[in-house]
Amino acid sequence: MRQAGRYLPEYRKIREKHDIISICKDPELCAAVSSLPVEVLGVDAAIMFADIMLPLEGMGVQFEIKEGIGPVIKHPVRNSQSASTLRDLDPKADVAFVLSAIESTKKRLDGRVPLIGFCGAPFTLASYLIEGKPSRDFANTKALMYRDPETWNLLLDKLATAMIRYLRAQIQAGVDAVQLFDSWIGCLNSQDYEQYVLPHSQRIFKELESSAVPKIHFGTGTSDLLESMKQAGGDVFGVDWRIPIDVAWQRVGHDVAIQGNLDPAVLLADSDLIKSRAADILRRVGSTPGHIFNLGHGMLPDTNPQSVIDLVQYVHSATQKHLEVQAK
């Protein structure tokens, strides 16, 4: 997550001349940035350089991505009137630049590694739309959810419909997997998740069931939510470091894959500590097939790229030994 981000000098150099949105809207530049981590770090997959807010522009939402803060919405959505004016998304018209960036990135990667497409989940997108900016307590979001469930459901339904179209268009353009980012879902308990969120996220997975690509369902702070998120759907569950990965896998069940879960802050430590924490994750998942090693959330800007290169090498060599043992 944010593997192409600010901690990479090559990315910072590009950012001196272009803001995030202009990178996303220039397919060749976007393809170069999306491929950068594969070239510099040696990771096993590229993720499209984009932002979860991009498709909302086509629905009539005006926003900016502020440095060090995140998305800031010009007119937050707080009532049924503003929810009902959100337009339907027409991916070929509204996010044509993402679709051509996918095609360019696929060409650039040339089959070396798969490309992951993504979108925000209805709850996480709604939380930005309602709060207007990143939030600690999600008070406005929860107030709308509890006080006006009709508007809440209208908003989440519109977002779910738009994201189904957006992911379908990304799959058609060539991504090899898709990830649904419900980054802020951990602020809910499982009861509220099931009542207010599950039906909407579930509809996304249901409607994408027939597309052949694997679907990753990610959230942070989800230890009380994993069983409910499993009901919503996904072939892979992405978890953060607040739960031991073997416990998380047990909860979602071994019929799905697990992704995670090194604390990105561990990458700020010395190499011995980084290796021992990575080793602990690998020990916890053992030889069970279906683990994707990943960070539990986005890369921190102060990360030394060399620490990431070393981590990737360490995980490759440790799991290579594993695979050799399995093959014998």
Angle at 181 between CA 180 and CA 182, to 5 degrees: 110
Nearer to ligand CP3, 72 or 318 (CB): 72
Residue 15 annotated to the active site:
yes
Could you tell me the smallest distance in angstroms from the CB atom of residue 200 to ligand CP3? 17
The residue annotated as part of the active site, out of 7, 11, 51, 165, is 51
**Nearest of 235, 231, 311, 299 to residue 271 by alpha carbon:** 311
Catalytic residue list contains 272: no
* Residue from 126, 213, 112 nearest 163 by CA: 126
Nearer to ligand CP3, 145 or 299 (CB): 299
Name the DSSP letter for residue 218.
E
1 is a site residue for ligand CP3 (CB under 6 A): yes
If binding is defined by CB under 6 A, does position 253 make contact with ligand CP3? no
105 lines the binding site for ligand CP3 (CB under 6 A): no
Catalytic status, residue 128: yes
Residue pair 140/131 in contact by the 8 Å Cβ criterion: yes
Short-list 53, 49, 66, CA closest to 166: 53
**Minimum CB–partner distance for residue 272 and ligand CP3 (Å):** 27
6 labelled catalytic: yes
DSSP output for 15-38: HHH--HHHHHTSHHHHHHHHHHHH
Q: What does each C-alpha distance from 168 to 154, 186, 214, 326 come to in angstroms?
A: 21, 26, 13, 36
- Which is closer to ligand CP3, CB of 70 or CB of 114? 70
118 binds ligand CP3 (CB under 6 A): yes
Q: Which is nearer to ligand CP3, 187 or 318 (CB)?
A: 187
* Closest listed residue to residue 98, CA positions, set 38, 156, 34: 34
Residues 275-304 that bind ligand CP3 (CB under 6 A): 298
Q: Tell how many helices (H) and how many strands (E) occur in the chain.
A: 16, 9
Say whether 147 is catalytic: no
Going by the DSSP 8-state scheme, the letter that residue 298 receives in this structure is P
62-91 residues near ligand CP3, rule: CB under 6 A: 65, 67-71
- From residue 167 to residue 206, the character string flagging contacts with ligand CP3 as x (rule: CB under 6 A) and all else as - is --------------x-x-----------------------
* Position 108 contacts ligand CP3 (CB under 6 A): no
Q: How far is the CB of 171 from ligand CP3 (least distance, A)?
A: 17
Q: Where are the beta strands (DSSP E) in 128-270?
A: 177-182, 215-219, 236-238, 257-262
The one catalytic residue in 7, 11, 128, 196 is: 128
Residues lying near ligand CP3 in the complex (CB under 6 A): 1-6, 15, 20, 47, 49, 51-52, 65, 67-71, 118, 181, 183, 298
